[in-house]
Amino acid sequence: MALLALSLLLTLLAVLSGTAVGSRDISGDVIRMPSEASRFFRSGAASDDEATVGTRWAVLIAGSNGYWNYRHQADVCHAYQLLRQGGLKEENIIVFMYDDIAFNEENPRPGVIITARMALMSIKEYQRSVYFRCQLTENIQIVSPHVVDFLWQDYTGEDVNVRNFLAVILGNKTALTGGSGKVVDSGPNDHIFIYYTDHGGPGVLGMPTSPYLYADDLIDVLKKKHASGTYQSLVFYLEACESGSIFEGLLPDGLNIYATTAANAEESSWGTYCPGETPSPPPEYETCLGDLYSVAWMEDSDIHNLKSETLHQQYELVKRRTANDDFGMGSHVMQYGDVGLSKENLFLYMGTNPANDNYTFVDENSLRTPSKATNQRDADLVHFWDKYRKAPEGSNRKVVAQKQFVEAMSHRMHLDHSIKLIGKLLFGIEKGPEVLNTVRPVGKPLVDDWDCLKSLVRTFEMHCGSLSQYGMKHMRSVANICNAGIQKDKMAEASAQACVSVPPGPWSSLHKGFSA
């Protein structure tokens, strides 16, 4: 009996000290069994506060694949953990992630995805910490202080696609192909939170499979969702380059939708916790662990009482941190739609961690602004270069990394040259660059005819190869060609002249295209 009492006492002390049950130390040894997770999560039953807000729904999507895009799936892991701590039920969170990084040969900890918060820790803290973790086998396991939960991946691999994503938002089970079949089956009093993290370009968002997602198709689905009367309000957080162009001039008022984006319609978004930055990832990680905007809103949500913090207050904090004005490596966080919704508390969409219930909101917080950030489109190069730099001389790993870097650069130069040459062939040597680089006034959508844009992109890719994650930056140029009245046959003729040969890329998934 004495031994049993001592054992129980030690277990209780471990729980109270935050080292315990369900967490794992740095070696991965289990300290608490996952079955005890319910002690630390709210059960999901509606409290008095929850009963007044309807059901909370969330859709989380990492729209990329490839180890160099590690940060997008890590961001989704972090967001899921945050929402589960906030009290959202597993059945009300739909997760899209390709699931190709946890057991990737490049991953220094097979089966584990760490998030950017680990980079805030000292070496001693890292060695003894309980930290965010995704373990992907049949599901994702999240571990953070006092928490263990299992996240079922609803849509993985080829099931992470435009068709399924839009069907999930609409609650249209018959339109699904593969996956768990889970959709946003919301009602008129419910609140919906959508978080999308990936590469993007003017008017387009990435997907790991073709086709990519165009802005007009997304806005059309949001309008249909509103017309169905199946939500009270919807909040959309979007991480991507030129992400403002997805809503600029397209998302009308009156849909009860509030959207914020990592960047305006003309600029890149940024990765963070990358090799060579301060803070940096653990040295064995040769890739960025997070995205600047995403990390900003999630780390803010981690420490605040979301019953008292409003969407607008978070927007202001995230805007300051993401701008990174001290170092000039950041973007302008934007807001669109029914901005009046931003006066509402984050609690309506994310719940709140009970551990933060006594926290008083302040306009400043202790979260660190990185001394450096990495352009989203350069994150693959950062990975290839860091891999090359660390590989032993004469090793096959060094040869492969060098080949990947050179092929990525060659592909970039091919795309840049091809688009410039097409512009000159269509409009002349002097006028071509002017047409391609035109930026429409604020409040006006990227293109007048979205079908034309999609057609010209398909035509370009037929002759010149995939635009790829990097090539999304040229979507504005193709849109301007449409706006100038160029038809498919003229685009085909110019593309055939401009692209006599197409160089290879590091591997196919880096260069997936926009076409179906």
Give the confidence band of 210 by pLDDT, cuts at 50, 70, 90. confident
For 176-205, what is the mean pLDDT?
96
Checking if the pLDDT of 93 tops 80, the result is yes
- Whether the Cβ atoms of residue 146 and residue 15 lie closer than 8 Å to each other: yes
Residues 311 and 437 in one domain: no
Residues 371 and 396 in one domain: no
- Cα atoms found within 13 Å of the Cα of residue 160, Cβ hemisphere only: 27
Check residue 143 and give its pLDDT: 42
Asked whether residue 5 is domain-assigned, the answer is no
Check residue 276 and give its pLDDT: 85
* Nearest in space to 311 (alpha carbons), one of 338, 342, 339, 335: 342
Check residue 513 and give its pLDDT: 55
- How far, in Å, CA of 149 to CA of 143, rounded? 7
Provide, rounded to the nearest whole percent, the portion of the chain with pLDDT above 70. Answer: 76
Asked whether residue 7 is domain-assigned, the answer is no
Residues 458 and 324 in one domain: no
Tokens of 258: 């509030």
Helix (H, G, I), strand (E, B) or coil at 113: strand
Check residue 17 and give its pLDDT: 33
Asked whether residue 1 is domain-assigned, the answer is no
For 238-246, what is the mean pLDDT?
97
Which residues lie below 8 Å from residue 246, measured CB to CB, with a gap of 6+?
200, 203, 205, 215, 218, 219, 238, 240, 261
| Pairwise pLDDT comparison (403 vs 46), residue with the higher score | 403
Asked whether residue 363 is domain-assigned, the answer is yes
For 153-173, what is the mean pLDDT?
96
For 395-418, what is the mean pLDDT?
95
| Pairwise pLDDT comparison (37 vs 296), residue with the higher score | 296
Give the confidence band of 507 by pLDDT, cuts at 50, 70, 90. very low
Per the structure, the complete domain to which residue 198 belongs is given by 18-376
Residues 422 and 314 in one domain: no
Taking only the tens place, the pLDDT of each residue in 280-289 is: 888 899 999 9
Report the number of distinct structural domains present in the chain.
2
Residues 309 and 404 in one domain: no
Checking if the pLDDT of 267 tops 50, the result is yes
Q: What CATH number did the domain enclosing 496 receive?
A: 1.10.132.130
- DSSP helix, strand, coil percent of the chain (3-state; round to 5): 45, 15, 45
Residues 341 and 468 in one domain: no
Residues 31 and 87 in one domain: yes
Residues with a known catalytic role: 199, 241
Final residue before a domain boundary, out of 345, 376, 407: 376
What is the per-residue DSSP string for 238-306?
EESTTGGGGTTTTS-TTS-EEEEESS-TTS--EEES-TTSSS---TT--S--EEHHHHHHHHHHHHS-T
User: Residue 449 carries which DSSP code?
Assistant: -
State whether the Cα torsion 476-264-371-310 is positive or negative.
Answer: negative
* Nearest in space to 83 (alpha carbons), one of 71, 95, 72: 95
Give the confidence band of 117 by pLDDT, cuts at 50, 70, 90. low
* pLDDT averaged over every residue in the chain: 82
- Whether the Cβ atoms of residue 137 and residue 385 lie closer than 8 Å to each other: no
| Pairwise pLDDT comparison (210 vs 388), residue with the higher score | 388
Find the helix or strand (DSSP H, E) in which 62 lies.
Answer: strand 56-62
For 161-174, what is the mean pLDDT?
98
Q: What CATH number did the domain enclosing 130 receive?
A: 3.40.50.1460
Check residue 367 and give its pLDDT: 58
For 396-407, what is the mean pLDDT?
95
For 220-242, what is the mean pLDDT?
98
- How far, in Å, CA of 147 to CA of 80, rounded? 12
Asked whether residue 9 is domain-assigned, the answer is no
Span between the terminal Cα atoms of the chain, in Å: 68
Taking only the tens place, the pLDDT of each residue in 23-39 is: 222 222 222 222 222 22
Asked whether residue 111 is domain-assigned, the answer is yes
| Pairwise pLDDT comparison (134 vs 252), residue with the higher score | 252
Asked whether residue 294 is domain-assigned, the answer is yes
Checking if the pLDDT of 353 tops 80, the result is yes
Query: Which has the minimum average pLDDT: 99-103, 176-180, 216-220, 236-240?
Result: 99-103
Characterize the bridge pairing of strands 290-291 and 56-62.
Answer: unpaired
Give the confidence band of 505 by pLDDT, cuts at 50, 70, 90. low
For 132-151, what is the mean pLDDT?
42
Can the peptide bond before residue 506 be classed as cis, meaning omega within 30 degrees of 0?
no
Give the confidence band of 83 by pLDDT, cuts at 50, 70, 90. very high
- How far, in Å, CA of 393 to CA of 312, rounded? 52
Check residue 360 and give its pLDDT: 67
| Pairwise pLDDT comparison (355 vs 442), residue with the higher score | 442
Residues 307 and 419 in one domain: no
Residues 137 and 219 in one domain: yes
* Residues in the chain, overall count: 516
Give the confidence band of 364 by pLDDT, cuts at 50, 70, 90. low
Helix (H, G, I), strand (E, B) or coil at 385: helix
Provide, rounded to the nearest whole percent, the portion of the chain with pLDDT above 90. Answer: 65
- How far, in Å, CA of 141 to CA of 135, rounded? 5
Tokens of 93: 């969170």
Tokens of 8: 């129980």
- How far, in Å, CA of 499 to CA of 459, rounded? 12
- Whether the Cβ atoms of residue 73 and residue 39 lie closer than 8 Å to each other: no
Check residue 48 and give its pLDDT: 41
Check residue 304 and give its pLDDT: 87
Checking if the pLDDT of 123 tops 60, the result is no
Check residue 139 and give its pLDDT: 43
How crowded is residue 122: how many other Cβ atoms within 10 Å of its Cβ?
8
Check residue 5 and give its pLDDT: 42
Final residue before a domain boundary, out of 347, 376, 405: 376
* Nearest in space to 260 (alpha carbons), one of 278, 242, 235: 235
Residues 354 and 272 in one domain: yes
Check residue 512 and give its pLDDT: 53
- Whether the Cβ atoms of residue 271 and residue 293 lie closer than 8 Å to each other: no
- How far, in Å, CA of 198 to CA of 349, rounded? 21
* Nearest in space to 259 (alpha carbons), one of 230, 238, 229: 238
Asked whether residue 464 is domain-assigned, the answer is yes
What's the order of all strands across the beta sheet hosting 213-214? Answer: 200-201, 204-205, 213-214
For 314-324, what is the mean pLDDT?
91
Q: Determine phi and psi for 495, rounding to 5 degrees.
A: -65, -40
Final residue before a domain boundary, out of 376, 409, 438: 376
SS (H, E, C) 201-255: ECCEECCCCCCCEEHHHHHHHHHHHHHCCCCCEEEEEEECCCHHHHCCCCCCCCC
Give the confidence band of 138 by pLDDT, cuts at 50, 70, 90. very low
Residues 158 and 239 in one domain: yes
Checking if the pLDDT of 427 tops 60, the result is yes
Residues 350 and 485 in one domain: no
| Pairwise pLDDT comparison (42 vs 217), residue with the higher score | 217
